[in-house]
Chains A and B, each alone.
Chain A
Amino acid sequence: GAVVSQHPSRVICKSGTSVKIECRSLDFQATTMFWYRQFPKQSLMLMATSNEGSKATYEQGVEKDKFLINHASLTLSTLTVTSAHPEDSSFYICSAAQGLSSFSYEQYFGPGTRLTVT
């Protein structure tokens, strides 16, 4: 149980175009989803937190107009990288949580999406 999928797994786009990445919780309802960015040989950096039906909360330094996050349903969140540039090339990972509390802290991670901007 607790499977999270991401689509696409890899995407190459041209500079200036936008690309959408989907994150789905397949067998549970995710009230909260997180989006991370992972640079080569580095850690996961949290970009934003989204709760179903609410606006996403972005971490300091993350441009909300560039990285549009939508969490319209309990099983789907999307990250759209707008006007992509080569420096946006990275590995994007989402995670989903069923309900966060002091007793239930668990996030389930998707396999990631490799974005390459040419």
Chain B
Amino acid sequence: AQSVTQPDIHITVSEGASLELRCNYSYGATPYLFWYVQSPGQGLQLLLKYFSGDTLVQGIKGFEAEFKRSQSSFNLRKPSVHWSDAAEYFCAVGDSSYKLIFGSGTRLLVRP
């Protein structure tokens, strides 16, 4: 069965520091992979997605993610975090019927 694991429940970084959020997936075929951000009172917003091609994907708000098939990972990165990046981040894998299976989320806290 498909699954997504986000091993870090919370991550705290200082403003201006780099960020990496981990995501591992389990899926039999070539996965469709997504990163979403959820801010209080707002819907989930798509940061980036990977379908095929270049394994380094650029997204909005300065985020990028790298698909590594050998490690079944799709980690999200940002070189310099801003206070406004504090939110909940979800990794998801899409299955063949276009359903999304979400990880448990990582809450990002940003120190001033």
Chain A interfacial positions (CB closer than 8 Å to B): 4, 9, 32, 34, 41-46, 49, 93, 95, 97, 100, 102-103, 105-112
Q: What's the nearest-Cβ distance from chain B to residue A44, in Å?
A: 5
User: Cα distance A100–B102 when bound, in Å?
Assistant: 18
> Within residues 79 to 104 of chain B, which ones have a CB less than 8 A from any CB in chain A?
90, 94, 97-104
Q: Which among A34, A43, A49, A93 has the greatest number of chain B C-beta atoms within 10 A? A: A43
User: Cα distance A33–B34 when bound, in Å?
Assistant: 18
Q: What's the nearest-Cβ distance from chain A to residue B42, in Å?
A: 6
Q: Which among B44, B45, B97 has the greatest number of chain A C-beta atoms within 10 A? A: B44
Q: Are A32 and B43 in contact (CB under 8 A)?
A: no
Q: Which residue of B lies closest to A5 (CB)?
A: B43
Instruction: Given A105-B32, A105-B51, decide whether A32 and B44 contact each other with a Cβ distance below 8 A.
Output: no
